[in-house]
Amino acid sequence: WSLDNFEIGRPLGKGKFGNVYLAREIKSKFIIALKVLFKSQLQKCHMEHQLRREIEIQSHLRHPNVLRMYGYFYDETRIYLILEFAANGEMYKFLKRQPHGRFSEPQTANYMAQLADALMYCHAQKVIHRDIKPENLLLGIHGEIKIADFGWSVHAPSSR
């Protein structure tokens, strides 16, 4: 992959190490989220190892409630993560827009069931996320949960 394979659209979010953009793969017209990370920022904060682990872990997970990582590529200054586009954005922002800043009980039960299912899958794959919070839960086109940001996750093959 290279940047030439994509048309870059609007920014979807900003992070400490870079930004996420809506993008489209030119040949297939497939819509993705492109996370652009700056190598200099990652190196300054000694986060290269963490990013390697995030890529290694997330690229192997396949579950409807886990954000897909389709691949990655890099150039001189940046690393690009090709991610599933979660059309309804962060659960955190959606939560803040709710009446009284909270979800209804049925809505909460639905989200919790999806989250439990996704976490059971991750744990069966010996993956521990370690940073579950509304900011790291995205919402797909049908309002389904997508666990994102595996930056703090670990692969724990031992059965401690």
Catalytic residues: 131
Residue 160 has pLDDT above 60, yes or no: no
94-137 confidence digits (pLDDT tens): 999 999 999 999 999 999 999 999 999 999 999 999 999 999 99
Q: Is 60 a domain residue?
A: yes
53-90 confidence digits (pLDDT tens): 999 999 999 999 999 999 999 999 999 999 999 999 99
How many domains does the structure of the chain reveal? 1
Report the pLDDT value the prediction gives residue 102, as an integer from 0 to 100. 95
**Residue 136 labelled as part of a binding site:** yes
| CATH number of the domain where residue 26 is located | 1.10.510.10
Q: Is 160 a domain residue?
A: no
**Residue 150 labelled as part of a binding site:** no
**Residue 84 labelled as part of a binding site:** yes
Range of the domain at 55: 3-155
Nearest alpha-carbon partner for 156 in 109, 121, 123: 123
**Residue 135 labelled as part of a binding site:** yes
**Residue 149 labelled as part of a binding site:** yes
